[in-house]
Amino acid sequence: MKTKLVVVMTSLLIAVSIFWAQSHPEAKPVSAGASCALDRSDYQEEVKDLGVYTARMQSRIVMIRNSAGIVENPQLRNALQVDADMWQDELDHKKQRMTRLQALLDRCEAREKINSR
């Protein structure tokens, strides 16, 4: 039973890693001097997508941590904790990107309001 759990968890982690790498190419970089002339709808869509992605990933990280808590094999438990930590780092990075994009959108909106007066 434990061996099957190890195989299933390892397979799941590998599949998620491969899926993520293929479906999330690096997003456009956000520069401090980015212009508001850029298509804001792309950035708004990216912020929305990142919000959905981060929520899903957070629940999956909790699932990995919960699984690590019930596994008796110390090596597997440690591997699951390291994996959860790795995904948490990735998730934190995505949340930072979402915050930067939202700040850019807010600045652009503020500039438009000032310029429209």
pTM score: 0.64
Least confident of 21-30, 73-82, 97-106: 21-30
> What is the tens place of the pLDDT at every residue in 49-98?
999 999 999 999 999 999 999 999 999 999 999 999 999 999 999 999 99
108/43 Cα distance (integer angstroms): 11
Tokens, residue 83: 């994996």
Q: Is it the case that residue 116 has pLDDT exceeding 90?
A: no
Environment class of residue 116 by beta-carbon count within 10 Å: exposed (0-12), middle (13-18) or buried (19+)?
exposed
List the chain domain ranges.
Answer: 47-112
Please give the pLDDT value at position 117. Answer: 79
| DSSP symbol at 35 | -
Tokens, residue 102: 């939202």
3-class secondary structure, 1: coil
Tokens, residue 60: 């999956």
